[in-house]
């Protein structure tokens, strides 16, 4: 599947229906008595975080989303039918921005989290609402309130416990294919990984964590070189950074400094995250080179030597990652939130009924 982590769309909520002007025919009631109902409320546009999605690709082919308008009021004090809401599923980790206001509206970081990005308009009042002791046959009514309309930007930042950081061909895709069920493209040339990949690493029965394979970085990635500038944002949400350093490099310590520099120049908070170093390709490093590398100090950062191809050091690495992820790890047997109680549902319905006062938009037929 093609990966897309940025999209711009236009959303338009439904307008509220107009109130009705109607009179019932009843003996001894002046002009039959007013019984015009209120207009229905317009549908809203709602964004919902769907844990089964990992791309914003669907929004590339459709840019305008409109909700249904509310029906007009009817006689016999019948309220018009409310318009249906439109629910748009987005991946977990989607940030919603208002294009014109340049502000963040929502950060859908949790599964099933919802946000009303455009609220439907309230229905207008019918003439039955205007009846008083001195105005027993009103012909006033209100038109419906227009629904909200705005242009929004959707930006996806993948949520993972561990983010893999390294130069192209450092072995990130091979590692994630070994420790998880992910099947990324693997080849012996740079920039094999063109999109981020997520893999779930199962540590034990009922316990697991998520690893994100980010496309390789090169020096200058923070200013647009290579592919890094497109995907550095995905590292921001990870809890732990795993630096993969190519054991066949001439200077692995210099490589580590370059990677840290790129992260720091993109976002200073990135270098403050818990960090682990894994020197890869242990299967093709000679004994003398390995002894030299083990003498290198990385300022207290835990360092392991692994070979994803030969499955050497992988179990130790997974255990180390699990230890650092700690309480932030994702558990397979997470408890599901209990359904709302009848009292909670009743309170929610009462809040939904409350509406803000409408401007006094009347039309006088007299």
Percent of all residues in the chain with a pLDDT value above 90, rounded to a whole number: 28
Higher pLDDT, 105 or 343: 105
Q: For the chain, how many residues are written?
A: 366
Q: What pLDDT, on a 0 to 100 scale, did the predictor assign at position 290?
A: 84
Q: What pLDDT, on a 0 to 100 scale, did the predictor assign at position 346?
A: 63
Q: Helix or strand or coil: residue 283?
A: helix
The three state secondary structure string of the chain is CCCCCEEEEEEECCCCCCCCCCECCCCCCHHHCECCCCCCCCCCEEEEEECCCCCCHHHHCCCEEECCCCCCCECCCECCCCCCCEEEEEECCEEEEECCCCEEEEEECCCCCEEEEECCCCCCCCHHHHCCCCCCCCCCCECCCCCCEEEEEEEECCCCCEEEEECCCCCHHHHHHHHCCCCCCCCCCCCCCCCCEEEEEEEECCEEEEEEECCCCCCCHHHCCCCHHHHHHHHCCCCEEEEEEECCCCCHHHHHHHHHHHHHHHCHHHHHCCEEEEEECHHHCCHHHHHHHHCCCCCCCCEEECECCCCECHHHHHHHHHHHHHHHCEECCCCCCCCCCHHHHHHHHHHHHCCCCCCCCECCCC
| Inter-residue contact 221 to 168 (CB < 8 Å) | no
Instruction: Report in angstroms the alpha-carbon separations of 174 from 180, 244, 309.
Output: 10, 11, 7
d(CA 47, CA 60): 16
Please say if the pLDDT value at position 337 is more than 60: no
Round the average pLDDT of the chain to a whole number and report it: 80
d(CA 95, CA 118): 15
What are the helix (H) ranges across 135-189?
172-179
Domain with CATH 3.40.50.300 in the chain: 162-331
Higher pLDDT, 215 or 43: 43
Read off the pLDDT of each residue in 97-120 and give the average, rounded to a whole number. 91
116-125, 158-167, 184-193: segment of lowest average pLDDT? 184-193
12-26, 154-168, 307-321: segment of lowest average pLDDT? 154-168
Q: What pLDDT, on a 0 to 100 scale, did the predictor assign at position 217?
A: 63
The sign of the CA dihedral 210, 321, 225, 194 is negative
Q: Helix or strand or coil: residue 45?
A: strand
Higher pLDDT, 114 or 346: 114
Read off the pLDDT of each residue in 31-56 and give the average, rounded to a whole number. 89
67-81, 167-181, 241-255: segment of lowest average pLDDT? 167-181
Q: What pLDDT, on a 0 to 100 scale, did the predictor assign at position 150?
A: 94
Please say if the pLDDT value at position 363 is more than 70: no
187-191, 235-239, 282-286, 342-346: segment of lowest average pLDDT? 187-191
Q: What pLDDT, on a 0 to 100 scale, did the predictor assign at position 66?
A: 96
Read off the pLDDT of each residue in 204-224 and give the average, rounded to a whole number. 65
Please say if the pLDDT value at position 332 is more than 50: no
Range with the largest mean pLDDT of 76-85, 229-238, 303-312: 76-85
Please say if the pLDDT value at position 185 is more than 60: no
Please say if the pLDDT value at position 361 is more than 60: no
Q: Which CATH number fits domain 6-156: 3.40.50.1240, 2.40.50.100, 2.70.210.12, 3.60.15.10?
A: 2.70.210.12
The torsion angles phi and psi of 31, rounded to 5 degrees, stand at: 55, 25
Please say if the pLDDT value at position 16 is more than 60: yes
Q: Which CATH number fits domain 162-331: 3.40.50.360, 3.10.580.10, 3.40.50.300, 1.10.468.10?
A: 3.40.50.300
Q: What pLDDT, on a 0 to 100 scale, did the predictor assign at position 88?
A: 95
Query: CB neighbours (10 Å) of residue 105?
Result: 16
Q: Which two tokens stand for residue 115?
A: 């946000």
d(CA 357, CA 87): 26
């Amino acid at each position: 599947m093609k990966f897309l982590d940025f999209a711009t769309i236009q959303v338009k909520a439904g307008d509220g229906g107009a109130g009705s002007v109607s009179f019932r025919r009843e003996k001894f009631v002046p002009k039959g008595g007013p019984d015009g109902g209120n207009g229905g409320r317009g549908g809203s546009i709602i964004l919902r975080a769907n844990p089964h999605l990992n791309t914003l690709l669907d929004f590339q082919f459709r840019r305008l989303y409109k909700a249904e308008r509310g029906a007009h009021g009817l006689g016999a004090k019948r309220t018009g039918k409310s318009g249906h809401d439109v629910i748009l599923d987005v991946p977990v980790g989607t940030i919603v921005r208002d294009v014109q206001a340049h502000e963040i509206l929502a950060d859908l970081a949790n599964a099933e989290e919802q946000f009303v990005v455009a609220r439907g308009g309230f229905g207008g009042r019918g003439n039955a609402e205007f009846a008083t002791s001195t105005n027993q046959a009103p012909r006033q009514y209100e038109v419906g309130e227009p629904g909200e309309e705005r242009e929004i930007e959707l930006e996806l930042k993948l949520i993972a416990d561990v983010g893999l950081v390294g130069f192209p061909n450092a072995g990130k895709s091979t590692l994630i294919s070994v420790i998880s069920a992910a099947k990324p493209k693997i080849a012996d040339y740079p920039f094999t990984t063109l999109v981020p990949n997520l893999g779930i690493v199962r540590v034990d029965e009922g316990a697991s964590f998520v690893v994100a394979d980010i496309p390789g970085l090169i020096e200058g990635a923070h200013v647009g070189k290579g592919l890094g500038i497109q995907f550095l944002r995905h590292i921001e949400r990870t809890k732990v950074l795993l630096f993969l350093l190519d054991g066949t490099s001439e200077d692995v310590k210099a490589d580590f400094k370059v990677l840290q520099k790129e992260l720091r120049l993109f976002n200073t908070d990135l270098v403050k995250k818990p960090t682990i170093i894994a020197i890869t390709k242990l299967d093709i490093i000679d004994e003398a080179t390995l002894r030299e590398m083990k003498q290198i100090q990385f300022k207290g950062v835990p360092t392991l030597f692994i070979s994803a191809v030969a499955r050497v050091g992988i179990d130790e690495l997974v255990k180390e990652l699990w230890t650092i992820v700690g309480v932030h790890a994702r558990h397979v047997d997470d408890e599901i939130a209990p359904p709302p109680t009848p009292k909670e549902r009743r309170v929610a319905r009462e809040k939904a009924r409350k509406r803000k006062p409408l401007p006094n938009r009347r039309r006088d037929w007299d």
